[in-house]
Amino acid sequence: MDNETHSNKKIVEGMVKAINERRIDQLTEFMASDVIDYNKIIYGEDDKPGAAFEGLRQQLTAFSPYSIYIDELIAEDDRVVARITQNGIHSGTHPRMPNPTNLSFENEAIFVFTVKNEKITEIRAISDRLGLFLQLNWDWPKSEK
């Protein structure tokens, strides 16, 4: 593994650690201020560069405790793929479900991070949203059409 690939993995690990320790204000150490998040963390999140920071704040407000465990990291060139398991308790307000259910969840997700100039610049992900909604007893979102 070359130094850049190793460094890119460390950036993703640092971001996850900051999230787990609820150090949202320190995420700029790992994520570019104009990071583009192609996977909306919270439905209704602004569709603009940098919106991921507010999405993460909302997620940590809605879920406490909340933890991410990295099951596997694979890196090549400027990409890092993280297979994770996340879990938490819906104990706070969430835009999709404002009343806490106090139910717990655990699901898997796969993230693809683009790292440039030692910062995460793009985030793409897929997760078990159906499992999340079922575990938290949330209503499935209706089409806005």
Sheet holding 119-127, edge to edge: 31-37, 119-127, 104-116, 79-90, 63-76
Which has the higher per-residue pLDDT, 40 or 39?
39
Which has the higher per-residue pLDDT, 39 or 143?
39
Answer yes or no: is 23 within a domain: yes
Answer yes or no: is 82 within a domain: yes
Average pLDDT value for the chain = 90
pTM equals 0.90
Residue 108 β-bridge partners: 85
Query: What pLDDT digit, counting tens, does each position of 66-112 carry?
Result: 999 999 999 999 999 999 999 999 999 877 777 899 999 999 999 99
Answer yes or no: is 143 within a domain: no
Answer yes or no: is 33 within a domain: yes
Specify the residue for token string 């793009």. 122
Answer yes or no: is 89 within a domain: yes
The predicted pLDDT at position 40 comes to 64
Residue range of the domain that includes 93: 3-136
Alpha carbon distance 43, 37 (integer Å): 12
Domain tally for the chain? 1
Residue 69 β-bridge partners: 85
Answer yes or no: is 45 within a domain: yes
- Chain centre to alpha carbon of residue 58: 11
The predicted pLDDT at position 43 comes to 57
Answer yes or no: is 142 within a domain: no
Answer yes or no: is 37 within a domain: yes
Mark 113-134 as b/e (b = at least 16 C-beta within 10 Å).
bbbeeebbbbbebebeeeebbe
Q: Which of 35-39, 48-52, 97-101, 116-120 has the highest mean pLDDT?
A: 116-120
The predicted pLDDT at position 129 comes to 85
Q: For residue 128, give the CATH number of its domain.
A: 3.10.450.50
